[in-house]
Amino acid sequence: MILVTGGAGFIGANFVLDWLAHSDEPVVNLDKLTYAGNMQSLQSLDARSAHHFVRGDIGDRVLVESLLREHQPRAVVHFAAESHVDRSIHGPGDFIQTNVVGTFNLLESVRTYWSALAPEQAQAFRMLHVSTDEVYGSLQANDAPFTERHAYEPNSPYSASKAASDHLVRAWHHTYGLPVLTTNCSNNYGPYHFPEKLIPLVIHNALAGKPLPIYGDGLQVRDWLYVGDHCSAIRTVLANGRLGETYNVGGWNEKTNLDVVRAICAHLDAAKPKVSGSYADQISFVADRPGHDRRYAIDASKLSDELGWRPRETFETGIAKTIDWYLNHPQWVDNVTSGAYRDWVHQQYAAQAR
Ligand code: NAD
Ligand code: TYD
């Protein structure tokens, strides 16, 4: 079996669903269920005994070590993090606590477990750390995309905390021999995405008749990766990645934010036309994010050359799938935006301390 951290979040939930669609190998899913954790994303697994959910903090050494001893996973896939740049600007403390201190504690728990494994299991064991392209900082318009050798130049509290976690993971390999792999991916999008991030926020606001906020001039560039392609990249690196190596994962889909928002509006105009006008009429330019990185772009050729991975979706096919998913899952969106998804947490854990 494998242990996944943060498997109730956007990418983690997609990964757990994808994993169990591809294999019978069970998953222990450890998630603290912060505001970003949503058990409704995993509802389709209710009847599956191969999914074992545990509410808890990656920084809780007693809990994590007992889970590892009990379930004896052959791998840990580490998604759990505070992930939203804007939140990190308003309150960086949780980012340091989970992304840095939490990852440190997780590494120590995994090291304790791994050190006690029999040689054959210890050799087969892997810990895959999921990180971001934001650790590399910001590119100018004509710079080459980020390779794995690009210097770390994080600019936001979020990216600095992820950079710190990457360094810890690297050091635990170098110093203690822990068998780690790291992936640094670009901006993901797809189903089950919390509507605080650009793409789900714009889809939701467009349908709700609200303004579509564009920070600054909207000409910042991101390299969009469909979440299903990210899941297949993680499976590939986990299976065949070289120990201690880092693999960049990107969609080869650089777009300005304005182009992304216009593409969503055009798709919605066709799929669910307004009574009059276009969804693009709701675009509203707002104050820029402090320290806003201008451009991210990933060179994923190491992953494709070494391990044969390529994304299946173009931005056009991926965004069409994503918008269709949101149109077909209004209940999931309503529960997230109304906060009703939190009720499950209260019901389930009413008696427990939080
Ligand atoms: P998310 O915010 O949607 O989900 C994070 C999950 O982690 C939530 O379920 C939350 O409850 C859980 N969590 C938070 N703190 C925890 C703790 N202390 N212990 C246990 N669980 C905890 O994030 P996401 O978008 O799914 O991102 C997953 C990973 O991928 C993160 O490490 C993030 O840095 C990285 N990443 C994300 C993107 C993106 O575009 N979303 C891009 C690059 C990298
Ligand atoms: P976001 O989804 O927050 O991801 P990240 O900051 O990790 O790249 O934002 C993607 C881009 O969209 C980023 O350049 C900020 C911009 N943005 C807006 O213009 N308006 C918004 O309301 C949001 C949430 C983001």
3-state secondary structure the chain: CEEEECCCCHHHHHHHHHHHHHCCCCEEEEECCCCCCCHHHHHHHCCCCCEEEEECCCCCHHHHHHHHHHHCCCEEEECCCCCCHHHHHHCCHHHHHHHHHHHHHHHHHHHHHHHCCCHHHHHHCEEEEEEEHHHHCCCCCCCCCECCCCCCCCCCHHHHHHHHHHHHHHHHHHHHCCCEEEEEECCEECCCCCCCCHHHHHHHHHHHCCCEEEECCCCCEEECEEHHHHHHHHHHHHHHCCCCCEEEECCCCEEEHHHHHHHHHHHHHHHCCCCCCCHHHHEEEECCCCCCCCECCECCHHHHHHHCCCCCCCHHHHHHHHHHHHHHCHHHHHHHHHCCHHHHHHHHHCCCCC
For ligand 1, the distance from its centroid to the CA atom of residue 82, given in whole angstroms, is 6
For residue 351, pLDDT beyond 60:
no
In this prediction, residue 353 has a pLDDT band, given cuts at 50, 70 and 90, of very low
Of 82, 133, 223, 293, the active-site residue reads: 133
The pLDDT value given to residue 339: 84
Q: What is the pLDDT of residues 12-41, one digit of tens each?
A: 999 999 999 999 999 999 999 999 999 999
Q: At what angle do helices 10-22 and 227-240 cross, to 10 degrees?
A: 60
Atom index in ligand 2 nearest the CA of residue 197 equals: 2
For residue 345, pLDDT beyond 70:
no
Classify domain 2-353 at the CATH class level. Answer: alpha beta
Q: CA 169, CA 352: separation in Å to the nearest integer?
A: 32
Known catalytic residue: 158?
yes
Residue with tokens 């918008």, as numbered in its chain:
323
Atom index in ligand 1 nearest the CA of residue 194 equals: 3
In this prediction, residue 168 has a pLDDT band, given cuts at 50, 70 and 90, of very high
Q: What is the pLDDT of residues 96-134, one digit of tens each?
A: 999 999 999 999 999 999 999 999 999 999 999 999 999
Atom index in ligand 1 nearest the CA of residue 185 equals: 43
Does the C-beta of 257 come closer than 6 Å to ligand 2? yes
In this prediction, residue 347 has a pLDDT band, given cuts at 50, 70 and 90, of low
Q: Quote the tokens at residue 340.
A: 């009703």
Of 158, 189, 226, 341, the active-site residue reads: 158
Could you give the angle at the alpha carbon of 329 between the alpha carbons of 324 and 330, nearest 5°?
110
For residue 352, pLDDT beyond 50:
no
Instruction: Spell out the domain ranges in the chain.
Output: 2-353
Using an 8 Å Cβ cutoff, are 220 and 293 in contact?
Answer: yes
For residue 350, pLDDT beyond 70:
no
- Residue 147: exposure state from Cβ atoms within 10 A (0-12, 13-18, ≥19): middle
Q: What are phi and psi of 117, to 5 degrees?
A: -75, 155
Start-to-end CA distance of the chain, whole Å, equals: 28
The pLDDT value given to residue 354: 39
Q: What is the pLDDT of residues 233-263, one digit of tens each?
A: 999 999 999 999 999 999 999 999 999 999 9
Q: Which ligand is nearest to the CA of 100?
A: 1
The pLDDT value given to residue 338: 87
Of 82, 134, 223, 229, the active-site residue reads: 134
Nearest residue CA, atom 13 of ligand 1?
80
Q: CA 206, CA 104: separation in Å to the nearest integer?
A: 41
CA torsion sign for 331, 335, 341, 346 is negative
Q: What is the pLDDT of residues 81-104, one digit of tens each?
A: 999 999 999 999 999 999 999 999
Using an 8 Å Cβ cutoff, are 170 and 324 in contact?
Answer: no
Q: Which ligand is nearest to the CA of 194?
A: 1
Using an 8 Å Cβ cutoff, are 192 and 341 in contact?
Answer: no
Known catalytic residue: 134?
yes
Cβ neighbours around 286 below 10 Å, total: 12
Q: CA 81, CA 99: separation in Å to the nearest integer?
A: 5
Does the C-beta of 222 come closer than 6 Å to ligand 2? yes
Q: Which of 203, 225, 257, 259 has most ligand 2 atoms within 8 Å of its beta carbon, as the pocket-test mutant?
A: 257
For ligand 1, the distance from its centroid to the CA atom of residue 55, given in whole angstroms, is 15
Does the C-beta of 198 come closer than 6 Å to ligand 2? yes
Q: Quote the tokens at residue 282.
A: 């709701």
- Residues enclosing ligand 1, CB less than 6 A? 5-6, 8-12, 31-34, 36-37, 57-59, 79-81, 83, 98, 102, 130, 132, 162, 185, 187-188, 194
Q: CA 285, CA 87: separation in Å to the nearest integer?
A: 20
Q: Quote the tokens at residue 47.
A: 């009847």
Q: What is the pLDDT of residues 305-328, one digit of tens each?
A: 999 999 999 999 999 999 999 999
Q: How large is the average pLDDT for residues 140-164?
A: 98
The pLDDT value given to residue 348: 60
Percent of the chain scored above 70 by pLDDT?
97
Q: Which of 198, 285, 294 has most ligand 2 atoms within 8 Å of its beta carbon, as the pocket-test mutant?
A: 198
Known catalytic residue: 65?
no
Q: CA 170, CA 190: separation in Å to the nearest integer?
A: 30
For ligand 2, the distance from its centroid to the CA atom of residue 268, given in whole angstroms, is 20
In this prediction, residue 341 has a pLDDT band, given cuts at 50, 70 and 90, of confident
Q: What is the pLDDT of residues 46-87, one digit of tens each?
A: 776 799 999 999 999 999 999 999 999 999 999 999 999 999
In this prediction, residue 180 has a pLDDT band, given cuts at 50, 70 and 90, of very high
Least confident of 163-167, 209-213, 286-290, 348-352: 348-352
Cβ neighbours around 279 below 10 Å, total: 24
In this prediction, residue 343 has a pLDDT band, given cuts at 50, 70 and 90, of confident
Buried (b) or exposed (e) across 249-258, using 16+ Cβ within 10 A? bbbbbbbbbb
Nearest residue CA, atom 4 of ligand 1?
9
How does the average pLDDT of the chain come out, rounded? 95
For ligand 1, the distance from its centroid to the CA atom of residue 197, given in whole angstroms, is 12
